[in-house]
Amino acid sequence: MLRIAIVDDEQSIVDKIQSIVTAFFCEQNEPVDISCFSSGEDIISYHQKYDLIFLDVQMQGMDGIQTAQEIRRHDKKAVIFYVTSYGNEMARSFSVHPFAFIEKPVNETVIRKNLQDYMEYAFKKKERKGMKFETLTGTAFIRLNEILYFEYLGNRKIRIVCDGSDIFIQNTITNIYSLVERYGFVKTHQSFIVNPAKIKAVLDSDLLMPDNVKVPIALKKKKAVRAQIEEYLCRQFEEDN
């Protein structure tokens, strides 16, 4: 679920942005949690991280740029849309890396265009992350989020089990692990490397994967594998929050 904040001391602006944003993400079938604030002090005191923040530049007390600077102290990832009537504030705002400027009076078409740009930035870029492999029949580019696990079959032959297909390459399991370890993949056995995002359950001696396929955990690796999976899940939870 996307967490979105709207910060503006004009209630009519808050209401209009909230209405447009709610309708947009409803059409995208993307669940959102929207929080509204009337001042920079309010959002700072709330101590919550957000995926996207609509932030009025000119407010009583902390202005939008001061608020953004404070937000950036503990949240480097939030995407900021400045809502402003003052174009001369643009240069000063670059220090907090805003994603977009939306001029008042706010326009639905402009907001929707920026939300669409945000969706492409936040989701499609992530979906495109992948790796190139030299297969037995040519070159394949495989998205990381499509890979379930790698299985070593012997004689330098590896099967890459993906959503809906298998791909075969010539390599060693050690070389493959050196490539995918940085993305959180876990080597559970001398012949298996697993994408932790695809694990359905951790059993006593196996990992349960989609279609109820079981991937073995080496006896000597049980403790380490469980720790790696737990670390991955904690990291994902922190990123989502």
pLDDT score recorded for residue 95: 52
| DSSP run (H or E) holding 3 | strand 2-7
- Per-residue pLDDT reduced to its tens digit, 154-189: 999 999 999 888 999 999 999 999 988 888 899 999
pTM: 0.55
pLDDT score recorded for residue 2: 84
pLDDT score recorded for residue 215: 96
pLDDT score recorded for residue 91: 44
Q: Beta-strand (E) ranges in 13-164?
A: 32-37, 52-56, 79-84, 100-103, 130-134, 139-143, 147-154, 157-162
Top-confidence residue, 75 or 15:
15
Can you tell me the distance from the alpha carbon of 126 to that of 78, in angstroms, rounded to the nearest whole number?
A: 16
- Per-residue pLDDT reduced to its tens digit, 100-155: 888 889 999 999 999 988 887 776 555 456 788 888 777 888 888 889 999 999 99
pLDDT score recorded for residue 240: 55
Q: What is the DSSP string of 159-223?
A: EEEETTEEEEEE--HHHHHHHHGGGT-EEEETTEEE-GGG--EE-SSEEE-GGG-EEE--GGGHH
- Per-residue pLDDT reduced to its tens digit, 2-40: 899 999 999 999 999 999 999 999 888 778 899 999 999
- Per-residue pLDDT reduced to its tens digit, 220-233: 999 999 888 888 77
pLDDT score recorded for residue 8: 97
